[in-house]
Each structure stands twice: as C-alpha cells, then as structure tokens.
Amino acid sequence: SKMLAQSKEEGKPTFSFEFFPPKTAQVQRQEAATLIFGAKLSQGVQNLYDRMDRMHGLGPKFIDVTWGAGGSLSNLTCEMVKVAQSVYGLETCMHLTCTDMERSKIDEALQTAYEAGCTNILALRGDPPRESEKWQAVQGGFRYAKDLVKYIREKYGDHFDIGVAGYSEGSDDNDNVDELIDHLKEKVDAGGTFVVTQMFYDTDIFIDWVNKVRAKGIDVPIIPGIMPISTHAAFLRRAKWSKIKIPEAWTEALDPIKNDDSEVREVGKGLVADMCRKLIDAGILHLHFYTMNLAQSSRMVLEELDLLPDVESPLQKPLPWRPSLGLK
Ligand code: FAD
C-alpha cells in the first residue's frame, strides 16, 4: 500500500482521520451556500472543510471520507474527496459500498475519484438488506465487498490501493470471527491491498485476531480503527452498536465519572492512548481515528502519544467560500 509505505520505512507511527458527509448537508442557510465544483455547500459542510483544514495541520498520513449506505449523500462524498485530494492536497481514501445501489453510481464515484487524483478506495458491501426482496432489487449488482474489489481491479488495474473492512469481534450480520477471516482472505485475494478494522477497546482480542489473520496468509497492512472517547453515553452506545467488548478496567475507570464530560474525555484519553501504545509495541505502526468529524478527542490522544507535530500548520487555502475572505 502506497499510503503506508513511509511509516514502515521510518518506523515512526503515523495516523489518519475519518470524516463523514455531515447530515445537515441539505442547504439550510441559503445565504451561506456557495457553489464549488458545481455543488451547493451548506454551512455544515463549510464548517467541516474548515475543520479538515485545521486537522490537516496535525499531520495525518491520509484522511478518508465515508459513503452513505445505498448512495445517500454520495454526491457529497465525491465532492469531499475532490476537495480534500485536489484542493487541500491531502492523501484521500474514498469509501464506497456496492449493494442496494445502481451500478452507474459506483462508476461515477470511481471516475470522480480517479479524476481528482485520489488513489485509494475502501471497498465495502454496505448495510445488510432488511428484506430479501430488496436484496435482489439491483439487477446485475454486487453481493459482497469482494465483488466490488474485483470490479475496481478489472476497470482500473493497479491505479487504486483498495482497502477492505476487517472485524476482530464479529460484524453486524456475522459473529463467526473465523468465517469472517476466510471472507477477509477472499477480499484480499481479489485485490485488496490493506485492511481497516472496526473499532475495538480490548487490545488483547485485537492482537490475537491480527495473529490469526496473519496465520491465514493475509499479509497486507492492517489498520486498526480507533474510536476516541468523547462522552460516556457515546462510548457505551458505539460499543454496543459494534457489539465489541469493553474491558472491565475501562468500565471501572469510566463509570464513577460518567456525568462529568471533561473527566470522561481526560480519563478516556489515557485509556485509548494506552491501547494505542500496546498496538505500537505489537508492531502496528498506523492508527486510524474515527473522528466523528470532531478534532478534540482524537487530538488529545495524539498529544498524549506525542505524535503531534511541533508546529501545526493548517493549510489555510484561500477557498472561495470562506466568509472571512469577504467573498459571497
Ligand atoms: P463483506 O466483506 O462483503 O461481508 C458481508 C457479509 O457477507 C459478512 O457476514 C461476510 O462474512 C459474508 N460473506 C462474505 N463473503 C462471503 C461468501 N463468499 N460466502 C458467504 N458469506 C460471505 N458502511 C457504509 O455504508 N459506508 C461506509 O463508509 C462504511 N465504512 C466502513 C468502514 C469500516 C472500516 C468498516 C469496518 C465498516 C464500514 N461500513 C460502512 C459498514 C459495512 O458496510 C458493513 O459492516 C457491512 O455490513 C459489511 O461490509 P463488508 O464490506 O465487510 O462486507
């Protein structure tokens, strides 16, 4: 994987940030909407770009932009990839799902990424269908993420690095971890060049899983998904949602302070940083942060790990929509 080549060479841990298209993307404040690349941007999107700019100053190796299941907000994903890659010059990875969606949408997204100079796609299946009828709705469509991996390889050769999803504690529709590793192998054999994992908090389970994955002959880089702790409620909700184990020590540390958000962030920072240190000690040299579009808690963990640059230098690109420039 080109994205990760340097971190291996230098032996110094690197990190990346994940963003999602803001749900407030519908233009709410017409006066704030501006045309860029033919798209109308809302205040929410502008705020996100401003944040991307500041977070660029933290020195991520790359950023990625998620894909709305079934292609919702897909135009926005494409726009964000274009802006991040070609305006901000950030190495960008575009998520792309392949089920419950017209193939033309996939083709358009890949072409947009290609033209923007983006060379990284995270190829996903997307949410499981709720009813079998819906499952067959897209004629000639894809069934598994590996079908998308194959398709991208056939269409674009080696242009893209292709990431695939890994699940150390089971996925939403399959808790058989061994079976999931077999399916992960199929995705890598189809052309996947790196793995990004679901979030987790139990490092021991994760490292065991990495060893199992390696034992199966999967030797591409594995990027652990790190979810920093912002509030106690969000911490519990996300762990439950991903069906991941919360180590007892974490519960003991966080439960007594659950009503104090800043305490939770502070203690949570320590717990997540310890987890990252263990990963780094185990030879995992790239950390992927689920930022939830917010800088603070990821930043705190990186600071604790001493991975932030001495001088933060946001690009402050003179983007045309910046109100501070007085442009309308
Ligand atoms: P697959 O690898 O295709 O697996 C899906 C299911 O099919 C699994 O149960 C698997 O075991 C089974 N399976 C695979 N191959 C076979 C086979 N040959 N025979 C039988 N069964 C098989 N969703 C979004 O909508 N947008 C995003 O941007 C997004 N980003 C994500 C990022 C990461 C890092 C992760 C971990 C998940 C993300 N997801 C996203 C969620 C993802 O789309 C769902 O978890 C989805 O349910 C599974 O996607 P997959 O790519 O892992 O599917």
115-133 in b/e form (b: 16+ CB < 10 A) is: ebebbbbbbbbbeebeeee
- The answer to whether 314 and 239 have CB atoms below 8 angstroms apart is no
CA–CA distance, 142 with 150 (Å, rounded to integer): 10
Measured distance CA(43)–CA(224) in Å, rounded: 32
**Strand segments (E) across 92-215:** 92-97, 120-124, 161-166, 194-199
Q: For residues 269 and 74, give the distance between their C-alpha atoms in angstroms, rounded to a whole number.
A: 33
- Measured in angstroms, how far is the CA atom of residue 313 from the centroid of ligand 1? 36
Look at the block and give the residue holding tokens 């780094």: 280
Residue in this structure with the two tokens 């009813």, named with its chain if needed: 131
Give pLDDT tens digits along the chain (328 positions): 666 665 555 678 999 999 988 876 444 433 334 444 334 556 677 777 877 877 888 999 999 999 987 777 888 899 889 988 888 888 999 999 998 888 999 999 999 999 999 999 999 999 866 655 454 545 567 899 999 999 999 999 999 999 999 999 999 899 999 999 999 999 999 999 999 999 999 999 999 999 999 999 999 999 999 999 999 999 999 999 999 999 999 999 999 999 999 999 999 999 999 999 999 999 999 999 999 988 899 999 999 999 998 877 766 554 443 333 222 2
- DSSP assignment of 82-114: HIIIIIS---EEEEEE-SSS-HHHHHHHHHHHH
List Cβ neighbours of 281 (8 Å cut-off, separation of 6 or more): none
Residues 200 and 169 sit within 8 Å (Cβ to Cβ): yes
Q: What is the ipTM of this complex?
A: 0.99
Atom of ligand 1 nearest to the CA of 196: 34
Cβ of residue 66 lying under 6 Å from some atom of ligand 1: yes
CA of 144 to the centre of ligand 1 (A): 7
Residue 140 backbone class (left: φ over 0; alpha: ψ -120 to 50; beta: rest): left
Atom of ligand 1 nearest to the CA of 144: 3
CA neighbours within 13 Å on the CB side: how many for 255?
Answer: 7
The residue among 263, 281, 275 whose CA lies nearest residue 301 is 275
Report pLDDT for 28: 40
Strand partners, 14: 286
Q: Is the CB of 97 under 6 A from ligand 1?
A: yes
- Name the residue of 101, 144, 180, 181 whose CB sits within 8 Å of the most ligand 1 atoms, as the mutation to test its pocket: 144
176 lines ligand 1 (CB under 6 A): no
How many other CB atoms are found less than 10 A from the CB of residue 9? 8
What atom of ligand 1 comes closest to residue 124's alpha carbon? 51
pLDDT of residue 36: 40
For ligand 1, whether the C-beta of 99 sits within 6 Å is no
CA distance linking residue 153 with residue 121, whole number of Å: 11
Note the pLDDT of residue 46: 75
Task: Give the pLDDT of residue 131.
Answer: 56
Task: Give bridge partners of residue 36 from the DSSP assignment.
Answer: 39
Catalytic positions, written as ranges? 18
